[in-house]
Amino acid sequence: MDRRKLWAAAWLAFAIYLLYRATLGAGSTYVMESDNGNWVYADPVEYVAGGAVFSPIRTLGVWIAALLTLCVLSYMYRDNPYYRFAEAVIVGVSAAYAMVVAFWSALIPNLFGELWPAFIQSWAIPGLSAEHRENWWLSFIPLVLGAMLLWRLAPRGSWIARWPLAFIVGTTAGVRLIGYIDADFVSQIRATMLPLIVRTAEAGTIDWGQSLQNTLIVFGVLSALVYFLFSVEHKGLAGRVARVGTWVLMIAFGAAFGYTVMGRIALLAIRFEFLFDDWLWLIDPLERRDGIL
Amino acid sequence: MYDFFSNLDRRWIFLAMGLAVAIPVLFQLQFPESSSALSEACFTAIEELPPGSRVLLAFDFDPASKGELEPMATSFVRHCCEKKHKLYFMTLWPVGVQMIDNAIDRVIRADFPEMVYGEDYVNLGYKPGYEGVIKVVVSDLKKLYSTDSRGTNIDQIPMCRNLKNILSMRLIVNVSAGFPGAKEWIQYAATPYKELSIVAGCTGVQAALLYPYVPDQLPGLLGAIKGAAEYEQLVNAAYTPADATPVAKYLEAKRRMGPQFVAHLLMIFLIILGNTVYFLQRAQARRRG
């Protein structure tokens, strides 16, 4: 049997297995009406008890999410059209979602709601005050800057977009500069000024653990800084300290890598949990289907 | 043998890692957890506040990091509810609103139905503007937030009426997946305004970047799912009756540490194996001259 037939047989077996799980109810989603009239997710046990109804559209959502998950995981084998399709869907949906959310949570309440509050209240946000706030006319500045930014899309005069862009770059740089100088420069230097010998408060004896920790922090920071000191040739004492700095940096990178691995495994685990729990109903960690399967 | 390992198709490694994660998920393997100083600091920061304190819960994450961060978000909300604090939810991420709604549904509506929206908790929702939002809300919250996430006028919400800015918060609890997140809250809120205290939970990728802020600028930090499991255990120990088992949703982080343990064992084995093969190959090459 050639490889193509083997793959076809494997896919067929998988499809039959999915059909079998679907007949058991796998992937089914149920909803119930909440106190405020919204339809919210309900557990299968509530459906069996008669308090919830089957939701075909949300069930379809679970199946689509599961199949897209498999499409993304298929990249592990090799690049393929299914993976690219899933990637394009994620990018497109994310961009559209962010745009719509930004429109309703920033442009409408914070810009148009400031300039024409009565109109926005009557049309979009009933909870908004219909009165103008103090200095409301200042909101014309972001409106004009926003319009200038969109000029980039016009066939002529796209240079006009450079002015608001310069404003954004300038203000962002200014805000970040202050934030970094205070939190990442001055405060970090202050946090490194530590006593190398720490005494316990009660007995006045040396706290060896804390002293060692402070010494490691101080010498770790100094040696790492020496590694980046390129005005002095890394020879003799400077070379030896820089070498220690390299080790300090390697340990920091190792710790960061270890944390990254932990994060990625957690993400893989939640995907498997989704596939085994929400989709295939193979496990029930949240005890939502007690006594059903 | 050496050639076999050095030319091993990487897809076998992927398969092994997949199985190392999938099998513990399928069999729901769990291991005991013990808390660290940083998770205890997070717990103490919330625990020692007097009941009814204002706490800002900034949930800056989205579904992509939900698996890692939702368990700690759930535990933070539960802990604040148990202490009867006043909760102000907000997010700097567009999809963060759904993460807040999930936490409210899972914890407040399910287990604390006596809490009233607008009096005990409020969802201020999402505002775009990255760190700019933080810069504004530390001085004038209502300049940006004229309504909550439901569109209700903020002046009609009892717990927001006298709220001028976030400096009146006793604590900021940030759950962060990246930019903007914990780093920005430290840079633009906790560092310049010493009266503001912050604890954070973050993804593994971010944890190494946040450790330099501990303890002066960031007293408590939950790093990735391990930090979440430690904190979850502390909250369960304090607020689950001794003769009862915690509800399954309050054991999510512990459950997700099972796959971590097995996958890490596999990684350690692969790193040792890879290095052994490398050094043996090098020694063999030297002998051959």
Instruction: Nearest chain A residue to B249 by CA: give it.
Output: A286
**Nearest 5 degrees, angle CA A119-CA A125-CA A129?**
70
According to CATH, the topology of domain B37-239 is: Rossmann fold (3.40.50)
Q: Tell me the mean pLDDT in the region A166-187.
A: 93
Q: Tell me the mean pLDDT in the region B170-179.
A: 96
- Whose structure tokens read 């994620």? A90
Looking at this protein, which amino acid is placed at residue A58?
A: R
Q: What does the DSSP 8-state code read for residue B172?
A: E
If residue B199 lies in a helix (H) or strand (E), which one and from where to where?
Answer: strand B198-202
Q: Tell me the mean pLDDT in the region A32-61.
A: 87
- The tens digit of pLDDT for each residue in B224-282 reads 999 999 999 999 999 998 888 889 999 999 999 999 999 999 999 999 999 998 898 89
Partner A contacted by B276 (CB < 8 A): no
User: pTM for this one?
Assistant: 0.90
Mean pLDDT (chain B, rounded): 93
pLDDT band at A293 (very low <50, low <70, confident <90, very high): low
Flag whether pLDDT at A201 surpasses 90.
no
What does the alpha-carbon distance between residue A168 and residue A145 come to, in Å, rounded to a whole number? 10
Instruction: Nearest chain B residue to A269 by CA: give it.
Output: B21
At A1 the pLDDT is 63
Looking at this protein, which amino acid is placed at residue B56?
A: L
The number of beta carbons lying within 10 Å of the beta carbon of residue B77 is 28
- The tens digit of pLDDT for each residue in A239-265 reads 999 999 999 999 999 999 999 999 999
**Nearest 5 degrees, angle CA A176-CA A180-CA A183?**
135
- The tens digit of pLDDT for each residue in A63-72 reads 999 999 999 9
- The tens digit of pLDDT for each residue in B201-218 reads 999 999 999 999 999 999
Kindly list the domain boundaries of chain A, sorted by start residue.
7-133, 134-193, 194-279
Pairing assessment for the beta strands B86-91 and B121-126 based on DSSP bridges: parallel
What does the alpha-carbon distance between residue A235 and residue A244 come to, in Å, rounded to a whole number? 13
Which of A121, A259, A277 to probe the B interface (max B CBs under 10 A)?
Answer: A259
Write out chain A residues lying below 8 Å of B68, CB-based: 263, 266-267, 270
Q: Give the ipTM of the model, two decimals please.
A: 0.89
The minimal CB distance from B153 to the residues A106, A129, A282 is found for A129
Write out chain A residues lying below 8 Å of B95, CB-based: 97, 101
At A50 the pLDDT is 86
Kindly list the domain boundaries of chain B, sorted by start residue.
2-28+257-288, 37-239
Distances from the Cα of A42 to the Cαs of B51, B70, B103, B257, in angstroms? 32, 19, 15, 27
If residue B80 lies in a helix (H) or strand (E), which one and from where to where?
Answer: helix B66-82
